[in-house]
Amino acid sequence: MFSSVLIVCTGNICRSPMAERIMKQYFPEKKIRSAGLMAMVNQPADDTAVIVSGRHCVSLEGHKGTQFRSSMAGEFGLILVMENSHLEQISEMVPHARGKIMLLGHWSEHREIPDPYRKSQEAFESVYQLIDQACQRWAQKFTA
């Protein structure tokens, strides 16, 4: 069992902030953070991500983009990523962490979660649903 989770995407303003806040609802007792491999450092969550998440009663208030650093691999028991390319990038940066890096969608039929950045509200809604489904599956696996 893991006590801390780092959720990683590209810019840390769309997918990983949504996943971080959703995952916190399922695992309120765990340390859950997010970061980006090419983070928009100190930027708030994307406006459309804020709107779509808000419709689902998930607040992205206070989020600030954070750059993934290799030292983070030692701080978290599980690292969840959105795409296989993220898994590979982190594995190259921190080879010893490979065993604790998994796709957020690992337990879902949609394993990779596409980037909605600069796309329509409908695209963000679709991605939100994929993230929520993936987080639900993690909760089912670890609270059963």
Q: pLDDT for 75-109, tens place per residue?
A: 999 999 999 999 999 999 999 999 999 999 999 88
- Tens of pLDDT, residue by residue over 21-74, are 999 999 999 999 999 999 999 999 999 999 999 999 999 999 999 999 999 999
Q: How far lies 81's CA from each of 37, 70, 71, 105, 120, in Å?
A: 10, 14, 16, 8, 22
**CA pair distance 74, 68, nearest whole angstrom:** 12
Contacts of 114 (CB under 8 A, 6+ apart): 123, 127, 130
- Known catalytic residue at 115: yes
Structure token pair of residue 60: 């992205």
* CATH superfamily ID and name for 4-143: Response regulator (3.40.50.2300)
Q: How far lies 43's CA from each of 22, 52, 75, 89, 128, in Å?
A: 19, 18, 23, 22, 20
Name the active-site residue from 98, 111, 115, 137: 115
Structure token pair of residue 51: 């709107």
Name the active-site residue from 9, 14, 33, 135: 9
Domain boundaries, the chain: 4-143
